Structure 1
Amino acid sequence: MSAPTSTGARSAAVVVAGVLVAAASAVGVWVLHRVFVLTAHGQAVDEAALVGARTRLWRLEDGANVVLDSVSAVAVLAALAVVAVVALAQRRVRLAVAAVVLVGGALATTQLAKHVLLSRPDLDVTYALDNSLPSGHTTFAGAVSAAALLVAPVRLRPLVAVLGAAYTSAIGVGTLAAGWHRPSDAVAAMLVVLAWGALLAPLAGGRPTAGVGSAGRAAAVVVLVAGAVVGLGAAAAALAVTWAAVPPEPTGRLGQLVAGAGGALGVGGAACSALLVLLLLQRSADRSADRAADRAADRGPGRAVSETAGQVAGAGPETTPDGWPRPAGGGPARRAPGAGPAQREVR
């Protein structure tokens, strides 16, 4: 009885971890909005990072516009169809539903937050008064990457996680290069995706892996951890320098480079961190499925037959209703020589 209870506790712990990650992500969006949208100094720092990124990455603007223009309602529907088909091909209806909910929920949350829940006050810092946090394009890229990770076969998950982080980083940095979004917008978008992914990855249930993909997963974790540490660490250092330099905006090549590179690296670090957390949550759910599969194997027909054979072997020879040993051939019981009714009663 202890094994099912223990595994059930582990499964519940994965769900609780997902809820905590989602709550922390929601708080992170609130903090970003509070610091970089509702305060004049935060707006100035965010704007400086945007100007620095555009100044240093201006050669990428044309390519970024082409990639960003490809994100449309048709692209959303196509992405939903692909992830659903991949999940259904594996006969995993629950994963297909979870992937569709993840993409749709993340995109809807971003639009609701940007146009209804959050506002951008005019603090006489920037010319753009409409709220742009979170970034819809980065949300799309992150949500599609998270959904692909959710439905990918076990062997392909590490590759999908790394490619998803790279794709999301490229879209997020592309919004900076094109001047569409500030760094805080893209980071907030990744937090929205992380919240939905953290809720759905454990609830969608794990798959027994029997250790498959462990080497690739270890390599993916190393790559994502390195990207997260380098990106977020450099972004924090650049933020400290830029925060001390504004207002006015950092000028000169070095100041623009620090602000712009810090914003771009922060976006990349956030993408790596989000995909890393989702990969680890999914692996935790798989561990519970592995334990359940092991228990099912222990209670399988083979073990039941062996246990029954052991019980029969230890029970001694089969006897007749009156207590006499039954012959191996199954015929009538034989009485011992000289044994009469009285002797049988004594026995």
Structure 2
Amino acid sequence: MASYDRLRADGTPRPLKAGDTWWYAAVAGEAAGSFSTRVRIRTRRACLAAVLLLTVVYAGLVLTATGRRWGDAALTGRRADTAAATVLREHPSLGGLTTLSLVAGCLLLLAVGLLRKRYALTVAVGGALVTALAVTGLLQRYAPRPRLVDSAGALLPSGFPSAQTTLAVGTALGLALLVPYRHRGLALLLGILWSSTVGGYTVAAGEHRPGDVIAAVLVVLAVYCGLLTVLARRGKVRPAPRGPLALGLLVAVPLAALAAAGLAAGVWLLGDALSLPAAAPYDPEELRIAHRCGQALATGVTAAAGLVLLLLVRRVDVDGAPAPYRLGGPFVEAAGVQYDDDAVGPFTPDRDHEIS
């Protein structure tokens, strides 16, 4: 087999040998154990896992009475949470700033792709973002759920999943794929912090329940894992050099700490939040606990999604440069052609060849 089929443990290919030819590079991505195959397998599994978790969240928080009661309590508890209520009251412009930041994030995503001249990858990332928004809209419109009405008897629109969170998390993960590989971790960390803030604001402002934010994160993660699977299937991934360990820890440790703290706090508070009585009136303290539990879980899931993507694309460059090849083979070597770094194809420069 050629030297492109399997990489060394440190990510560098073996030295080229006589007889290595360009057509091996074409099939290397499909060889068992190749780099592209390994990336495709793990991203496909992550996509299926995200879809499974989304199904569990939908069944637990939308279809069950306990889940709906917890979501309603978390939504109502924003008024009992004096800290969140004070911030929203003293800063009424936060809603406009959130919308402005979403627009700026989309423009930044487009600008980075165009400035780096990664047109195909920019189109792919934009398509993934549009797909995530389309899936969100379809779930909001057609996913079966109990009919919810307000005090006046009007039917309430569904907010499952949250479109704002889908756009924010999709922009953050898309930027992580479009920026240069050495800046991916920092871009992902900043993007996750920003998208967590957007999701937390939608819950604190009463626009969405915590389950809506969690579902949006899982939708985006599933779509982007599917995108990476397609890129690996088409041979658009390649090994990236090992970066400084300190830089990797600088990104991975805060994401892991935020995910662990958010999930742990949310699960710890969830026991008290699920013990709400089946009917009103509710204790304001119980409502406040339900709200903070939802905020913690939403933040933890968002950070965990960023950490999962960071691990999936660890030492994976998605710029899609072609695999290296060289002139080789018995016919070319017999012709006495010297090795040329700029040579293209398996034939001699004088093109004096025949296919029979």
For the aligned pair, the TM-score class normalised by the smaller chain equals 0.7 to 0.9
- Confirm or deny that 1:283 pairs with 2:308: no
Residues 43-90 of structure 1, C-alpha deviation per residue, up to 9 Å, x if partnerless?
111111222234211123257864444566x97776444323312322
Residues 170-194 of structure 1, C-alpha deviation per residue, up to 9 Å, x if partnerless?
1111011111111000000000111
**1:83 alignment partner in structure 2:** 109
1:14 corresponds, among 39, 52, 68, to 39
- Confirm or deny that 1:142 pairs with 2:169: yes
Distance 1:187 1:17 in 2: 22
**2:124 alignment partner in structure 1:** 98
- Confirm or deny that 1:49 pairs with 2:74: yes
**1:261 alignment partner in structure 2:** 292
**2:14 alignment partner in structure 1:** none
Alpha carbons of structure 1 residues 62 and 197: separation in structure 2 relative to 1, 3 Å: farther
1:212 corresponds, among 217, 221, 243, to 243
Structure 2 counterpart SS, 1:229: helix
Distance 1:107 1:234 in 2: 29
List aligned pairs for 1:119-198, cutoff 5 A. 119-122=145-148, 129-198=156-225
**1:30 alignment partner in structure 2:** 55
**1:344 alignment partner in structure 2:** none
Contact 2:88–2:94 at 8 Å: present in 1 too? no
Q: Compare CA radii of gyration and give the structure with the larger one.
A: 1
Give the C-alpha shift of residue 213 in structure 1.
Answer: 5.3
Alpha carbons of structure 1 residues 134 and 281: separation in structure 2 relative to 1, 3 Å: same
Higher normalized helix content (fraction of residues): 1
Alpha carbons of structure 1 residues 207 and 70: separation in structure 2 relative to 1, 3 Å: farther
Residues 211-245 of structure 1, C-alpha deviation per residue, up to 9 Å, x if partnerless?
23543222211111111111111111212221123
Alpha carbons of structure 1 residues 122 and 83: separation in structure 2 relative to 1, 3 Å: closer
Structure 1: 5+ residue stretches without partners:
309-347
Q: Report the TM-score when normalising by structure 1.
A: 0.74
Percent identical among aligned pairs is 29
Contact 2:181–2:317 at 8 Å: present in 1 too? no
Distance 2:43 2:86 in 1: 40
**How well do the aligned residues superpose, as a CA RMSD in angstroms?**
3.5
Alpha carbons of structure 1 residues 266 and 64: separation in structure 2 relative to 1, 3 Å: farther
Alpha carbons of structure 1 residues 279 and 231: separation in structure 2 relative to 1, 3 Å: same
Contact 1:107–1:136 at 8 Å: present in 2 too? yes
Contact 1:37–1:43 at 8 Å: present in 2 too? yes
State which drifts further: 166-175 or 18-27.
Answer: 18-27
Distance 1:214 1:89 in 2: 28
Alpha carbons of structure 1 residues 157 and 222: separation in structure 2 relative to 1, 3 Å: same
Distance 1:211 1:11 in 2: 17
Residues 236-290 of structure 1, C-alpha deviation per residue, up to 9 Å, x if partnerless?
1212221123334694454233211111011110110111111222225339989
Q: Report the TM-score when normalising by structure 2.
A: 0.73
Residues 82-117 of structure 1, C-alpha deviation per residue, up to 9 Å, x if partnerless?
323312322322321222112211111111111123
Aligned residue identity for 1:94: A
Aligned residue identity for 2:86: R
Alpha carbons of structure 1 residues 246 and 76: separation in structure 2 relative to 1, 3 Å: same
Contact 1:14–1:284 at 8 Å: present in 2 too? no
State which drifts further: 226-235 or 11-20.
Answer: 11-20
Contact 1:54–1:260 at 8 Å: present in 2 too? no
Alpha carbons of structure 1 residues 88 and 212: separation in structure 2 relative to 1, 3 Å: farther
**1:272 alignment partner in structure 2:** 303
Alpha carbons of structure 1 residues 64 and 15: separation in structure 2 relative to 1, 3 Å: farther
Structure 2: 5+ residue stretches without partners:
8-28, 337-356
- The count of aligned residue pairs is 299
**2:138 alignment partner in structure 1:** 112
Distance 2:196 2:249 in 1: 21
- Confirm or deny that 1:229 pairs with 2:260: yes
